[in-house]
Amino acid sequence: MSPTTIETANALHITRTFNATPDRLFDAWTQPEAIRDWFGCPESRIGDATVDLRPGGKLRVEMILKDCTCQIVGTYRQVDRPYKLVFTWNWVGHPGMADCGETLVTVELEDAGEGRTEMRFSHEGFPTREFSDMHNYGWNGGFEQLAAYLQK
């Protein structure tokens, strides 16, 4: 199945199938060493990542871009291994994202058979279409990196 993206002013929904089991894909989202390897847009690299994987636990990812170093911080709201993650998302220290505010990410994983997993991804709560567009670019580029990571 080809990736599909549905974008509105306030939300982004991406469906994509990966060549990995739900457990492996869940680990890619939740293990700091995996996050450092695939996460972010193609123009970034990840410095540090910390994960406290439990409802109420914190997520922090340091993203290094050409013009700034910033952090993505969030709080896990739901952790249902290996099928669902829900967490808040907030930019800290990125001048272009200062007005984005807190948004919500949902990752749902479904076994698609033969070692494959369908991921239904949502990022919601953007204040404007511009923020949705920027995240659409970043997430789709990041998911290309995730596919390459899963092939290792």
Name the residue among 122, 140, 129 with its Cα closest to residue 8.
129
HSE (side-chain half, CA atoms, 13 Å) at 118? 10
Name the residue among 121, 142, 151 with its Cα closest to residue 46.
142
Question: For all residues of the chain together, what is the average pLDDT?
Answer: 95
* Chain centre distance of CA 12: 12
Question: Residue 111 is part of a domain; what is its CATH number?
Answer: 3.30.530.20
Residue 30: CB partners within 8 Å, gap ≥ 6?
Answer: 51, 53, 85
User: Does the structure show a pLDDT above 90 at 5?
Assistant: no
Q: State which residues form the domain around 130.
A: 4-150
User: Does the structure show a pLDDT above 90 at 89?
Assistant: yes
pLDDT band at 141 (very low <50, low <70, confident <90, very high): very high
Q: Per residue in 30-45, pLDDT tens?
A: 999 999 999 998 899 9
The rounded percent of the chain whose pLDDT value lies above 70 is 99
User: Does the structure show a pLDDT above 80 at 7?
Assistant: no
Domain count, the chain: 1
SS3 151: coil
